[in-house]
């Protein structure tokens, strides 16, 4: 087990966990939707901590070449996640709402910075972090956290997109959706709309 890699994954997970304290507005109240989105990150932090203390053992691939490739990819993904979170924070002129409130009406559409490439760069960074965590600590709980997050973040993103498309900025947002992917950049601008 590579302790330095686990510490990098833990740093990435912790950066995500600290976002409510360092960036997001705290309008409204903590609700079940926010908690449901946060659970996999809490689980990963716990699993990584247990692995660092030797309580949890990762699944070990039989091929040593795969293990080296997994470690290298995990470093790139975790570092990219941290960088994307920082870029996204820098993109915003004001903090955005944290709690996924029903009445959280948009004040403007952000289409610059990290949002130039994806509609949900925070969520994209969260997924990069979870994939990096799986590669750093292959364990059924880290895989479960990732699979759960893919579903939870897609549902949350779809709800946010529906609200934005129905807002006063709806036509601008629908055009933006055609140009950008949800979590991953579109290979060709103007490609068919979906969850790319």
All structural domains of the chain with their residue ranges: 48-95+123-196
Residue 48 near residue 4 (C-beta atoms within 8 A)? no
Q: What is the pLDDT of residue 189?
A: 58
Residue % of the chain over a pLDDT of 70: 81
Tokens of residue 87, six digits: 């870029």
What is the tens place of the pLDDT at every residue in 60-114? 655 567 888 899 999 999 999 999 999 999 988 776 765 555 666 677 788 999 9
Res. 49: pLDDT tops 80: yes
Q: Which of 119, 139, 160, 134 is nearest to 37 (CA)?
A: 160
Longest dimension (CA), the chain: 55
Residue 173 has pLDDT above 80, yes or no: yes
- pLDDT-derived band of residue 118, with 50, 70 and 90 as boundaries? very high
Q: Flag whether pLDDT at 27 surpasses 90.
A: no
**Closest C-alpha to 160, from 87, 98, 83, 114:** 98
Predicted confidence at residue 95, as pLDDT, reads 67
Q: How many CA atoms lie within 13 A of 160 on its CB side?
A: 21
Instruction: Please tell me the predicted confidence (pLDDT) of residue 29.
Output: 61
**More confident of the two residues 71 and 190:** 71
pLDDT at residue 42 tops 50? yes
> What is the four-CA torsion angle of 87, 183, 34, 49, rounded to 10 degrees?
-70
Report the mean per-residue pLDDT for the chain: 85
pLDDT at residue 104 in the model: 65
Q: What is the pLDDT of residue 195?
A: 43
């Amino acid at each position: 087990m590579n302790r330095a890699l686990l510490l990098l994954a833990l740093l990435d997970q912790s950066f995500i966990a600290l976002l409510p304290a360092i960036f997001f507005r705290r309008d409204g109240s903590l609700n079940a939707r926010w908690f449901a989105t946060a659970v996999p990150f809490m689980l990963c932090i716990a699993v990584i901590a247990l692995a660092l203390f030797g309580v949890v053992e990762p699944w070990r691939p039989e091929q040593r070449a795969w293990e080296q490739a997994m470690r290298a990819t995990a470093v790139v993904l975790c570092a990219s996640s941290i960088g994307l979170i920082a870029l996204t924070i820098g993109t915003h002129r004001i903090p955005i709402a944290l709690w996924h409130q029903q009445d959280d009406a948009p004040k403007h559409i952000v289409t610059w910075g990290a949002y130039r490439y994806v509609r949900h760069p925070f969520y994209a960074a969260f997924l990069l972090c979870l994939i990096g965590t799986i590669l750093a600590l292959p364990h059924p709980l880290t895989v479960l956290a990732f699979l759960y997050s893919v579903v939870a973040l897609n549902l949350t993103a779809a709800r946010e997109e529906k609200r934005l498309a129905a807002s006063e900025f709806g036509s601008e947002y629908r055009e933006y959706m055609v140009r950008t992917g949800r979590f991953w950049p579109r290979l060709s601008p103007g490609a068919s709309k979906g969850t790319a």
